[in-house]
């Protein structure tokens, strides 16, 4: 496995851990969730930033800017204890991320000539599930109590799907 693939697998494992923390967060007070989520985002932001510096030799590449954004959000969550405010944006985030995953799968298959049907199908299913959950959350009143679990499950699914995609790509390239 290449070094870059290993970094992606590590990122996916971090997503899965953050997802599990979200899923068990209902048992905790909101300030505990803010600290855990903030710490996780700070750690993820630092890892993404370091990976971007190693791979891209830049602190302002798109990936590095994502790491900086995660770092800033992590600090904000810890300082402002504002997880509840962010949960109101979750349906829109799920819709946008789900749509982006679908588009990425289609672009990868048709434009980049990555003719891996399994990757396309996985991305379409995950994207459609995220869009559907986002739309359902917009129609359900009082959804905030369920958002942490839904976000946790979404992060776990995305992490597992990306790990599977890495191994499918690694298996395809070794043949």
Q: Which residues contact 128 (CB under 8 A, 6 or more apart)?
A: 98, 102
- The reply to whether the predicted model has a pTM over 0.85 is no
Calculate Rg over the CA atoms of the chain.
17
Q: Please name which of 9, 10, 8, 36 lies closest in space to residue 152, comparing C-alpha atoms.
A: 36
Per-domain residue ranges for the chain? 3-174
pLDDT at 26: 66
Query: What tens-digit pLDDT sequence spans the chain (175 residues)?
Result: 576 777 778 878 878 887 887 777 666 666 777 787 788 888 888 888 888 888 878 777 777 888 888 888 888 888 887 666 766 777 888 899 899 989 988 888 888 777 778 888 888 998 998 899 888 888 877 666 677 777 788 888 888 888 888 887 766 666 6
Number of H helices, E strands in the chain: 7, 0
Contacts of range 168-172, beta carbons closer than 8 Å, 24 or more positions apart? 168/116, 168/118, 168/119, 169/5, 169/116, 169/119, 170/1, 170/2, 170/5, 172/116
Instruction: Read off the DSSP letter of residue 35.
Output: H
pLDDT at 30: 62
d(CA 37, CA 73): 9
């Amino acid at each position: 496995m290449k070094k870059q693939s290993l970094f992606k697998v590590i990122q996916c494992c971090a997503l899965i851990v953050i997802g599990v923390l979200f899923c068990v967060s209902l048992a905790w007070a909101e300030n505990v969730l803010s600290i855990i989520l903030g710490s996780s985002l700070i750690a993820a932001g630092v890892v993404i930033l370091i990976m971007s510096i190693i791979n891209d030799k830049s602190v302002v590449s798109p990936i590095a800017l994502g790491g900086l954004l995660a770092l800033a959000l992590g600090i904000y969550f810890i300082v402002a204890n504002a997880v509840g405010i962010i949960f109101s944006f979750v349906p829109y985030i799920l819709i946008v991320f789900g749509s982006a995953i679908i588009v990425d799968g289609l672009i990868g298959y048709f434009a980049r000539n990555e003719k891996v049907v399994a990757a396309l199908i996985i991305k379409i299913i995950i994207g459609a599930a995220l869009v559907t959950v986002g739309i359902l959350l917009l129609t359900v009143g009082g959804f905030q109590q369920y958002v942490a679990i839904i976000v946790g499950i979404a992060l776990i699914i995305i992490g597992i799907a990306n790990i599977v995609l890495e191994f499918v790509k690694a298996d395809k390239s070794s043949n």
